[in-house]
Amino acid sequence: MTLPKRPDIDEYFLKIASVVAERSTCRRHHMGAIAVRDKHILTTGYNGAPAGAKDCLELGCLRDELGIESGTRQEICRAIHAEQNVIIQAGLHGVSLEGSTVYCTHTPCVLCAKMLVNAKIARFVSFGKYNDDRFIEIFREAGIEVGIKERPPAEITFLD
């Protein structure tokens, strides 16, 4: 009997971020993020409308209606980004993200990158690419390590 391969720690947390992304209410991208320190999940976040507000699943995508390309004009969107929700949840629950690793299904937009720098994260790991590469220089200047990994398998393996 061959045992399934045990995922390494980055694959493990990227897989969890992928499950978090399933809660997204965005019609364009389902994005999920988790903040981790010492192999302990601190907070999670996915992209979607502010709490209590109508979302794109209900109202339709304003960016699609206006023909706005991905990676541009982020302010014309109902959604709060997954990384922003990770930071907001940390603030609401009194959790510092300093020194943490943020695992996210996509690389960050420039606005999220600046927020993550100010949250003092140490590392950012992703498998998907967002249409905005300006985060690279921002993270380099701040000394944030970046890891781009393979997309983890979608299936979950169980031993019977």
- Residues 85 and 39: their CA atoms lie apart, in Å, by 20
In 3D space, the residue among 2, 24, 52, 3 whose CA is nearest the CA of residue 128 turns out to be 24
Tell me which of 83, 137, 141, 145 is the catalytic residue.
83
Residue 83 a catalytic site member: yes
Distance of CA 139 to the CA centre of its chain: 15
148 membership: H or E segment, kind and range: strand 145-148
The residues that are catalytic are 83
